[in-house]
Amino acid sequence: MYEISRHAGVGQATLYRHFPDRSSVAAAIFAEELEGLERLAAEKAGDPEAFFALMRAVAAVQTQFYGLVDCIAGVPGAESETAQLKQRFLALVEEPLRDAKAAGLLRRDFGIEDVFLLIAMIGGALDRGAGTGEGAALAARAQTLLAEGIGSPADD
């Protein structure tokens, strides 16, 4: 929390008045990033490629804020806040996912639960590159491979 207050240019007391712990800070950051994803979804509404644009943006957020979700999820009492953020995220990707499938851009067997699997896989790439400076490159490569793998096969 000291580092957060120092980077924000505020005193620790000010930070603690607004955020009682690190998970509260992480939840606020996650909510702000989710708003950005919601704006992107609104801009891309009706575009069959919107799902892929959203997943690229999600991978970018994961890379920039590596470990953010773990920080929220690892704190007792944060379950309701985490569940609420997850519901917002689900609502955000449902329509673009449906549009991409309808346009034949996604595998027919790809579902909403697979979105979380993709996120976990990108997180695994980030874990592998943690501390090496290669995290962003590995996450980008994983995202590319995943996007190609979830695309609709030519023989569908």
Number of H helices, E strands in the chain: 8, 0
For residue 98, give the H/E element and its range.
helix 79-102
Query: How far, in Å, are 31, 52, 74, 102, 144 from residue 139 at the CA level?
Result: 22, 15, 23, 27, 9
Give the distance, in angstroms, between the CA of residue 38 and the centroid of all CA atoms in the same chain.
Answer: 12
Q: What is the pLDDT of residues 65-109, one digit of tens each?
A: 777 666 665 555 556 777 787 888 999 999 999 999 999 999 889
- Could you give the domains of the chain? 19-150 (1.10.357)
Q: What is the pLDDT of residues 21-55, one digit of tens each?
A: 777 777 788 888 899 999 999 999 999 999 999 99
Hey, what amino acid is at 131?
Answer: G
Tokens 């990108």 — which residue?
Answer: 122
**Tally of CA atoms within 13 A in the half-sphere of 74 that contains its CB:** 9
3-class SS string, 58-79: HHHHHHHCCCHHHHHHCCCCCH
